[in-house]
Amino acid sequence: MPPDANGLTARITSGVGALSESEWNACYPDDPEGWQYYRACEMRAVPGVALAAVEVRDDKGLAAAAPLFQLSYRLDTPLQGRLRSLADAISRRAPSLTEWKLLGVGSPYADRCHIAIRPDLTGAQRDAVLTALIRAVEAEGASRKAALIVFKDLSGAESEALEGVLGRERYNQIRSLPVATLDLQGVPDLERYIAGLSSSTRKDVRRKLKAAGGVRVERRTNIDDLADKIEVLYEATRQHSNVHYGDFEALPQDYFRSVADCAQEKAQFMLYWVGDELAAFNLLLLGRDTVLDKFLGMRYPLGPSNNIYVVSWIENVRFCLETGRRWMQSGQTAYSSKVRLGSRLVPSSIYARHRNPVINRVIRLAAPLAAFDRWDPDLRRLAAEGKAA
């Protein structure tokens, strides 16, 4: 695109890996899901999912950038349980009525919409840069004939920066799944963390740790000899889950090997062995102050029978404390267990706009029904108990 009235130029690239690593890191430093992580995700494709990126530049260089993805979005994606089964049947018979072509800002492989913004921008400059980014994304959406433009999982600083601009551009806010975050500031050691849990949870954790005495824990960064087994464990856990989100769960082929190769020391694999058998793995992505518990995969019934979930959680807390990291982020599943173990749920939002203004108004009216947190069974239980985000 030619420069706009503010001297800003915007372009679409093949992915975050096509952007300058140093410029991205200057805008978005020390995040667990950084430039190296996105490059790993872009090395292999998932059928039906296309990846790209958008960047906006001024006379100083990169002003803002974000990953993009394109897929055919099923309108019933938030639904779970019996309603999802009914929606599956309808979708098989009339897919054209239940799917929209979507261009998203963010990533199917991240729980947060990473929009890199250069920190020296003034408020007015930032709004101009983000408006240019939105215009570039919308132009790309039109060229791809995408019906829907979506900003996926905005929270924290990204939400504060964008919500005003998106509101002016008539984007509809839809509640997404919150992110579970454990704050370990002021916790001196693992014993003090366990002591701070409720009495019933504390007893349960100690009992399960004692019963899991035969589990051996190994931490490593190189998984070349185990990558295939790790993929099998991830898929087994995904199939065993009671919530499903379609294309947002599928990972690129060789995802774990690619992340290990690209992120190197910033990707730690916790391996849990029972005898000579790999019972479970945990992928941790490391930022300066944060450990992101990205994926846990286990063998059934071997993993659950050895209390792997609690064992892995405690090992991750131990790792945070030993490396001086304050935050443990653990993603968008198993909320009841995470809240019980001390996590706080941080709200997250989707902002969506349909190219047809009439349908866009319908989306605004339907936003409460389309909210992802409305249909998650754990979140519904927590809401009933007054513990939801």
For 153-169, how does the pLDDT look when each residue is reduced to its tens digit (9 = 90+)?
Answer: 998 888 888 988 999 99
Predicted local distance difference test score (pLDDT) of residue 99: 86
pLDDT (tens digit per residue) in 246-296: 777 889 999 999 999 999 999 999 999 999 999 999 999 999 999 999 999
CATH of the domain at 281: 3.40.630.30
- pLDDT of 93 above 70: no
- pLDDT of 318 above 90: yes
Contact 61, 85 (CB under 8 A): no
Predicted local distance difference test score (pLDDT) of residue 372: 87
Q: Are residues 211 and 253 in the same domain?
A: yes
Q: Are residues 162 and 210 in the same domain?
A: no
2 falls within a domain: no
Three-state SS at 76: coil
Predicted local distance difference test score (pLDDT) of residue 241: 78
Q: Are residues 126 and 60 in the same domain?
A: yes
209 falls within a domain: yes
- pLDDT of 331 above 90: no
Q: Are residues 70 and 93 in the same domain?
A: yes
Q: Are residues 172 and 200 in the same domain?
A: no
pLDDT (tens digit per residue) in 350-382: 999 999 999 999 999 999 988 888 888 888 888
**Angle separating helix axes 308-323 and 199-211, nearest 10 degrees:** 100
Q: How large is the average pLDDT for residues 50-69?
A: 97
Q: How large is the average pLDDT for residues 210-232?
A: 95
Predicted local distance difference test score (pLDDT) of residue 84: 54
State which residues form the domain around 17: 9-178+349-384
Q: Are residues 246 and 154 in the same domain?
A: no
Average pLDDT, the chain: 91
219 falls within a domain: yes
Q: Are residues 253 and 376 in the same domain?
A: no
Q: How large is the average pLDDT for residues 24-28?
A: 92
1 falls within a domain: no
245 falls within a domain: yes
Predicted local distance difference test score (pLDDT) of residue 224: 94
At 230, the amino acid letter reads I
Q: Are residues 262 and 291 in the same domain?
A: yes
- pLDDT of 44 above 70: yes
Q: How many CA atoms lie within 13 A of 389 on its CB side?
A: 24
Take residue 355 and report the two structure tokens written for it. 């190219």
Contact 108, 130 (CB under 8 A): no
pLDDT (tens digit per residue) in 108-159: 999 899 999 999 999 999 999 999 999 999 999 999 999 999 999 998 888 8
Q: Are residues 38 and 80 in the same domain?
A: yes
b/e code 173-190 from CB counts within 10 Å (16+ = b): bbbbbbbbbbebeebeee
3 falls within a domain: no
34 falls within a domain: yes
- pLDDT of 389 above 80: no
Lowest mean pLDDT among 6-10, 121-125, 223-227, 245-249: 245-249
Q: Are residues 341 and 353 in the same domain?
A: no
Q: Are residues 159 and 242 in the same domain?
A: no
261 falls within a domain: yes
Domains identified in the chain, total number: 2
- pLDDT of 242 above 90: no
Which one-letter DSSP state was computed for residue 33?
S
- pLDDT of 388 above 70: no
Predicted local distance difference test score (pLDDT) of residue 73: 87
Predicted local distance difference test score (pLDDT) of residue 232: 95
Q: Are residues 95 and 115 in the same domain?
A: yes
